[in-house]
């Protein structure tokens, strides 16, 4: 039988709008000797839903093994099936714990977490199945997010068909608003800023460690020394599945290349010098209200910007 919720250590779930620093925070947390956080999963909600539909151990294993990101975990399928069968009637939450537990064991660690930006839409669902879940929402100035998203090759962009600054602004604003609304239904939720994580990471990491009941250790600040090895897990092609296109290994790794280096402070506020004034104005028409709510300064002397 699985352990009671009270005896399970908290599990961090890093969420956020894509290109907001979720990989950076994941690698920092993963550098802790007790905590293992795999690449983006996207299968947690699949397992939860399958469990709610009454899937048994064998079917839950199938759901996971058939998912195109299963190979990123590098865990043994036979051992996964054995452990699920040993539970008897596992829930979707049990299946998540088994999979992540095996991943942590492979890394020689005791605890696990997750980093999948899109789960900001599923926090209540995940908490219901995994009461130990603790959600860390990392937020970044949306104009820098837009620069990062639109600089990527179109096939690799994390937002579907974001062909304009205005569309990125609208989606950035709506996703943060939606996340905050969902957060009202979970007991453990923390917001941190990308800008703070880059300029002064230790206080941010101490807050996150407090949320998940981990001791902060300085090695977390040296995360980039092992980042290349960690990113190697996604250096594999993802086959097309359903309406999801094929993703090349190169296309998966390239957007995270900077994560193997120390944080670059010059990327904070890059929109001021790299985004044309008319695009700043376009972003602020769609996302200006959220920028103000978050305390970000609006563009200065930008024609057409919101009052």
Domain extent listing, the chain: 8-37+113-233+247-307, 42-109
Q: Give the integer Cα–Cα distance in Å for 219 and 203.
A: 14
Q: Is the pLDDT of residue 77 over 90?
A: yes
Q: Is the pLDDT of residue 157 over 70?
A: no
Q: Is residue 79 very low, low, confident or very high in pLDDT (cuts 50, 70, 90)?
A: very high
Q: Is residue 180 very low, low, confident or very high in pLDDT (cuts 50, 70, 90)?
A: very high
Q: Is the pLDDT of residue 114 over 70?
A: yes
* pLDDT at residue 229, rounded to an integer: 85
Average pLDDT over residues 171-183: 96
User: pLDDT tens-digit profile of 255-277?
Assistant: 777 777 777 788 899 999 999 99
* 3 state DSSP class of 295: coil
* pLDDT at residue 71, rounded to an integer: 95
Q: Is the pLDDT of residue 137 over 70?
A: yes
Greater confidence, 307 or 189?
189
- Considering the four listed CATH numbers 3.40.50.300, 3.30.70.1560, 3.30.750.24, 3.10.180.10, the one that applies to the domain covering 8-37+113-233+247-307 is 3.40.50.300
* pLDDT at residue 241, rounded to an integer: 82
Q: Is residue 5 very low, low, confident or very high in pLDDT (cuts 50, 70, 90)?
A: low
Q: Which percentage of the chain shows pLDDT scores above 70?
A: 92
Q: In what order do the strands lie in the sheet with 133-139?
A: 114-115, 11-15, 133-139, 189-193
Q: Is residue 305 very low, low, confident or very high in pLDDT (cuts 50, 70, 90)?
A: very low
Q: Is residue 232 very low, low, confident or very high in pLDDT (cuts 50, 70, 90)?
A: confident
Q: Is the pLDDT of residue 215 over 90?
A: yes
Using alpha carbons, list the distances in angstroms from residue 201 to 25, 198, 276.
Answer: 10, 6, 30
pTM: 0.91
Q: What is the mean pLDDT of the chain?
A: 90
DSSP string for 122-168: SHHHHHHH-TTEEEEEEE--HHHHHHHHHHS-GGG-SSSS--SHHHH
Most confident segment among 62-71, 248-257, 293-302: 62-71
Greater confidence, 282 or 240?
282
* pLDDT at residue 144, rounded to an integer: 96
Indicate the range of 17-26, 145-154, 228-237 predicted with least confidence. Answer: 145-154
**125, 96 Cβ separation under 8 angstroms:** no
Q: Is residue 163 very low, low, confident or very high in pLDDT (cuts 50, 70, 90)?
A: low
């Amino acid at each position: 039988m699985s352990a009671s919720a009270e005896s399970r250590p908290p599990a961090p779930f890093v969420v956020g709008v894509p290109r907001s620093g979720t990989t950076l925070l994941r690698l920092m947390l993963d550098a802790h000797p007790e905590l293992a956080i795999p690449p983006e999963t996207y299968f947690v909600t699949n397992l939860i839903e399958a469990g709610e539909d009454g899937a048994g151990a064998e079917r839950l294993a199938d759901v996971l093994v058939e998912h195109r990101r299963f190979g990123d975990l590098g865990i043994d399928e036979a051992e996964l099936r054995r452990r699920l069968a040993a539970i008897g009637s596992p829930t979707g939450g049990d299946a998540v714990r088994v999979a992540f537990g095996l991943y942590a064991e492979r890394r020689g660690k005791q605890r696990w977490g997750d980093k999948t930006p899109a789960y900001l839409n599923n926090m209540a669902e995940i908490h219901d199945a995994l009461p130990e879940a603790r959600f860390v929402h990392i937020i970044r100035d949306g104009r820098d997010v837009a620069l990062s998203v639109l600089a990527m090759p179109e096939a690799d962009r994390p937002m579907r068909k974001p062909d304009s600054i205005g569309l990125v602004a609208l989606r950035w604003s709506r996703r943060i608003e939606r996340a905050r609304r969902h957060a009202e239904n979970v007991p453990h939720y923390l917001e941190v800023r990308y800008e703070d994580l880059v300029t002064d990471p230790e206080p941010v990491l101490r807050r996150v460690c407090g949320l998940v009941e981990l001791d902060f250790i300085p090695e977390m600040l040296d995360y980039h020394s092992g980042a290349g090895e960690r990113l190697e897990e996604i250096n594999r092609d993802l086959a097309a599945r359903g309406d999801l296109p094929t993703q090349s290994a190169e296309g998966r790794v390239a957007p995270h290349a900077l994560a193997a280096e120390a944080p670059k402070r010059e990327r904070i506020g890059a929109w001021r010098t790299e985004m044309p004034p008319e695009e700043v104005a376009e972003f602020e028409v769609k996302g200006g209200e959220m920028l103000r709510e978050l305390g970000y300064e609006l563009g200065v002397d930008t024609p057409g910007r919101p009052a």
